[in-house]
Structure 1
Amino acid sequence: MSRRRRIYEGKAKILFEGPEPGTLVQYFKDDATAFNNQKKGTITGKGVLNNRISEYLMVKLGEIGVPTHFVRRLNMREQLIREVEIIPIEVVIRNVVAGSLSQRFGMAEGTVLPRSIVEYYYKSDELGDPMVSEEHITAFGWASPQDLDDMLSLSLRTNDFLTGLFLGVGLRLVDFKIEFGRLYENEEMRIVLADEISPDSCRLWDVKTNEKLDKDRFRRDLGGVAEAYQEVARRLGILPEGGPRDLKGPSTMQ
């Protein structure tokens, strides 16, 4: 494999220079982190599964008109994406009380919310990804009011669609995190869904048993993390034949 220029490396992915202008190659690692990188580990085959799951969900969202950075999957661990200017805000959509929401307000996990709640967090591991308001976001220039309107609209559409999709395979979409980027094409700019959508960024519970099938199994030392991710892929009908092969992945030489 030819040497590729590494653009960025995060906790779960590496971005390489793409084969054509305006593109990047997104490589999914097996590394797992929690609590703002304080807890670290490796989940064998996670990158393969997240690549497939995120591809599937991004394609489905594209089919209903939600713009994304996704172009196509290249192999078991890599996908071709459009290069975007990432907005440094994580958008969290909550449908059921869990995680930090439960801790902040002393509410029982599993309580169904009267309506979906949208929260914003500033992307900064050093600061612990603090929650921010729309006022912070616009005042500090992270996004314009129009950007925020677009992000909110796309977030709610994504939530509505994914809630139904997962419910159809016996999974409850408890909450999830998404990110957005600015895609520049000719003289135009539009907001598109970026990063990934996978059990790393979603809380998914079995509808009947409330079994956790997401990264909470890693956060809380519940065990069976890889098996939970495989179960999500299996229910979506995309588990690679014979399980998540290519466990080491292709070379990531710079």
Structure 2
Amino acid sequence: MKLIYQGKTKDVYSLDHNQVLLKFKDDVTGTDGVFDPGANTVGLTIDGAGKSGLKMTKHFFELLKSQGVNSHYVSADIEEVSMVVKEAETFGKGLEVICRYRAVGSFLRRYGAYCEEGQPLDSFVEITIKDDERGDPTISEDALVMLGILNNQDYQTIKELTKTICNAIKVELASKNLELYDIKLEFGRDKATGEIMLIDEISGGNMRVYQDGKYIAPLDLEKIFLG
């Protein structure tokens, strides 16, 4: 296999037939040794984080597949901590799509003059551009269109897909008395068909989840949710 990209939390290898292999790492995003799913730097390494993230990812991708959601997921090997996926083309240099159900994290830091911590939000969707140097800034629909990153139809498709996907994840977590506060997704185009599809992973490292008002760390989340 040929290594084609080394990411913060995964390495990417080329396979045949428009597929790639994602090898999950034990690195997680954060700042000053504190986990933060919205951070754009690796903050710490947690033993077993890669396997834990893959278990969650496999569960959610298979759930979404059963509900007819188009994604890059093909198969997962838990012991090898790897996942085979369809090759995708990113929008621009990469976008992250956040769906927020409560005011925490960067939303609270930005808009704290107008809301309280934990205040309910109505499936608020926002998009950030992947740009470590500039701190992954948020970007509006108008700017995405003007800069040629998305067209209006693509934006609406991604927004509606995000709400559908995140609601399915929220409902699934709620079955174990877990509340989803926010979650980060990524989308791309299927290199073979051009269709917009969900890519990357769906794990504790991409979301903030609480139980009885208490934040649940990613590895603990996997144990509670899948244990």
- So what's the TM-score if we normalise by structure 2? 0.89
Report the residue type matching 1:197 in the other structure.
I
- Counterpart of 1:133 (choices 122, 140, 145) is 140
Aligned counterparts, 1:201-220, within 5 A: 201-206=206-211, 208=212, 210-214=213-217
Question: Equivalent residue of 2:145, what SS?
Answer: helix
Offset from partner CA, 1:113-163 (integer Å, 9 cap, x none): 2x1211111111111100100011111111122211211111010121111
Offset from partner CA, 1:17-44 (integer Å, 9 cap, x none): 12x2200000110012225445622100
- Asked whether the 8 Å contact 2:100–2:183 carries over to 1, the reply is yes
Q: Distance in 1 between matches of 2:95 and 2:188?
A: 10
Residue 104 of structure 2 corresponds to residue 104 of structure 1: no
- Structure 1 runs (4+) deviating above 4 angstroms are 35-39
Q: What do you get for the CA RMSD once the two structures are aligned? A: 1.5
Q: Distance in 1 between matches of 2:206 and 2:159?
A: 18
Higher-Rg member (1/2): 1
Residue 194 of structure 2 corresponds to residue 189 of structure 1: yes
Offset, 1:233: 2.1
Aligned counterparts, 1:18-167, within 5 A: 18=15, 20-35=16-31, 36-38=39-41, 40-76=43-79, 77-87=81-91, 88-106=94-112, 107-113=115-121, 115-167=122-174
Q: Distance in 2 between matches of 1:26 and 1:38?
A: 19
Offset from partner CA, 1:61-84 (integer Å, 9 cap, x none): 111111110100034310100000
- Asked whether the 8 Å contact 2:204–2:222 carries over to 1, the reply is no
Count of aligned positions = 215
Question: Equivalent residue of 1:142, what SS?
Answer: coil
Residue 11 of structure 2 corresponds to residue 14 of structure 1: yes
Offset, 1:46: 0.1
Q: Distance in 2 between matches of 1:37 and 1:121?
A: 11
Q: Distance in 1 between matches of 2:63 and 2:120?
A: 26
Give 5+ residue unaligned stretches, structure 2: 32-38
Report the residue type matching 2:88 in the other structure.
V
Q: Distance in 1 between matches of 2:130 and 2:42?
A: 18
Report the residue type matching 2:20 in the other structure.
L
Say if 1:205 and 1:52 are closer, same or farther in 2 by CA, change over 3 A: same
Q: Distance in 2 between matches of 1:15 and 1:38?
A: 18
Offset from partner CA, 1:50-109 (integer Å, 9 cap, x none): 011011101101111111101000343101000000222111110011011111121322
Residue 155 of structure 2 corresponds to residue 169 of structure 1: no
Q: Distance in 2 between matches of 1:189 and 1:62?
A: 18
Report the residue type matching 2:84 in the other structure.
L
Give 5+ residue unaligned stretches, structure 1: 215-227, 240-254
Q: Distance in 1 between matches of 2:141 and 2:76?
A: 34
- Asked whether the 8 Å contact 2:8–2:41 carries over to 1, the reply is no
Judging by fraction of residues, say which structure has more strand: 2
Q: Distance in 1 between matches of 2:191 and 2:26?
A: 31
Report the residue type matching 2:224 in the other structure.
R
Q: Distance in 2 between matches of 1:196 and 1:211?
A: 24
Q: Distance in 2 between matches of 1:16 and 1:69?
A: 15
Aligned-residue sequence identity (percent) comes to 29
